[in-house]
Structure 1
Amino acid sequence: MDIESLAPVVDSILEAAETRGGGGDRLSVSPHSFPDAVEAAAADGRVPVIAEIKPTSPTTTGERTEDSVVLAEQMVEGGATALSVLTEPSHFGGSPEALDRVREAVEVPVLRKDFILREEQLDTVAADMVLLIARFLNDLDRMVDAARERGFQVLVETHTATEVEAAIEAGADIVGVNNRDLTKLEVDLETFEEVAPTVPEDVLLVAESGIGSQRDVERMQAAGADALLVGSAIMDGDVTANTRRLVTTEGHDT
């Protein structure tokens, strides 16, 4: 685990994650296919967007207090291809219970977004896909295997070409490139543009963080993104309208 020079709040998040256990019994899930959902959205003329239910965040102000299921249904109404649900409680206001309820309520794939550090933490709650952050896992290949053994699809998050290499060596077939630098919490869309060419063409590529306008969407797609993970730009305001604005390929804003 590379934890040198992390932003203090990220250190705090990791410390909290270290203390959280797993859910007990080993999970076995039958996931909705995320690659199939991405293909279907593109065929339907929609930008494949993973809309994120994020009640609060260390990098934003305010808090959304609506029921997670209501937010999820609004995102799907707006055209979201998949949903991401925060289950980290201390810094993001999420919970495994919220994810469980959302997954029961919608038919699209649901990603569990959390800082998963140990195998037993995979057994906290069923989801269609789990996030594993390459930077924080020295045993990434084992964690990818452990997640797949439970039936999860795996989104491996990276930030550098070196982390992409580690993800591919671990067998990742869905890779995210996070535009947010966890050392300073700064966002730069050039990160994706620089790192994306190192991802093999047969890997499903997700652009994460900092995507707020249709211009950003076009920029990420031009750089090779197959799908986009969007949180704050959707959660800030009318969730349905914000989702629809980003998934629509006509009437682009600036």
Structure 2
Amino acid sequence: MNETADLAPAVRSILDAARERDAPDRRLSVSPRSLPDALAAADADGRVPTIAEVKPTSPTTDGERRDDPAALAREMVEGGAAAISVLTEPEHFGGSPDALRAVRDAVDVPVLRKDFLLREAQLDAVEADAVLLIARFLGDDLAGMLAAARDRGFDALVEVHDRDELQQALDAGADLVGVNNRDLAELVVDLETFETVAPHAPDDVTLIAESGVTTPADARRMREAGADGLLVGSAIMDAEAGDVESNTRRLVSA
């Protein structure tokens, strides 16, 4: 695994907790709803392909939403979301496998499990349609984790932050790549991150822009830069901006 000294303290704390988290003594086999197909279908339907995130809280947001995750997910789908992302990290994001199970039972779109997975057994915590694998945290283990996820049936979204990590993901065989606009050292968001990395991805890779999309203008900017889809959490969950359904519709109609 890569060195973590240059990571923000909050990120190091998340990783420390992930290393200590128990993994189930079982092996899953899932029949997924295809995440790339759902994004393509939304695009064909004239919507901005959006993965809307059920996120109770995070180290970069204030407060916590205690709404029923399944109800939130249904509102997001009503608003036009192509897929749903659910945090299952408990200590820092208030998530849980139970929340993901409830969401997946409540909607008919793909559900992405967003967590900090460091070893193969952690893939087996809960059935999902896709899982997030973070290149920076897995290092030389990325190819093995990617193969293990696919062997269980999951789509695997490999998250990168720069061109070197993109190449690492491509070398590992990734064909579904998320470019996170949030820097892991200072936790600063810069949409230019996606614009810098995206031109170097092959045409047959599905590219997701993650973090920092807060307005329809941001959504259009990322699409123009080559994003096949967006992963949006805070802007949709922000109660001050409106209800979840209308927040989702505002972005997918950009």
TM-score by length of 1: 0.97
In the alignment, what sits opposite 1:245?
250
User: Is 1:132 matched up with 2:133?
Assistant: yes
One-letter code aligned to 1:187: V
Using the alignment, how far apart are the partners of 2:24 and 2:191 within structure 1? 36
Aligned pairs for 1:33-182 within 5 A:
33-138=34-139, 139-182=141-184
Deviation at 1:140, TM superposition (A): 0.3
Q: CA deviation digits over 1:41-100, x for unaligned, max 9?
A: 011100000000000010000111111001000100100000000000000000001001
Using the alignment, how far apart are the partners of 2:34 and 2:51 within structure 1? 13
Structure 2: gaps of 5 or more residues: none
Using the alignment, how far apart are the partners of 1:207 and 1:24 within structure 2? 34
Deviation at 1:24, TM superposition (A): 2.0
How many residue pairs align between the two structures?
249
One-letter code aligned to 1:59: T
Conserved 8 A contact 1:208-1:230 = yes
One-letter code aligned to 2:183: D
Which secondary structure state, in structure 1, belongs to the residue aligned with residue 41 of structure 2?
Answer: helix
Percent identity over the alignment is 66
Which secondary structure state, in structure 2, belongs to the residue aligned with residue 181 of structure 1?
Answer: coil
Pairwise CA RMSD: 0.7
Using the alignment, how far apart are the partners of 2:20 and 2:61 within structure 1? 25
- Show structure 1 runs of 4+ deviating over 2 A: none
Which secondary structure state, in structure 2, belongs to the residue aligned with residue 111 of structure 1?
Answer: strand
Structure 1: gaps of 5 or more residues: 250-254
In the alignment, what sits opposite 1:220?
222
Which secondary structure state, in structure 2, belongs to the residue aligned with residue 130 of structure 1?
Answer: strand
Q: CA deviation digits over 1:107-163, x for unaligned, max 9?
A: 000000000000000000010000000000021000000000000000000001000
In the alignment, what sits opposite 2:11?
10
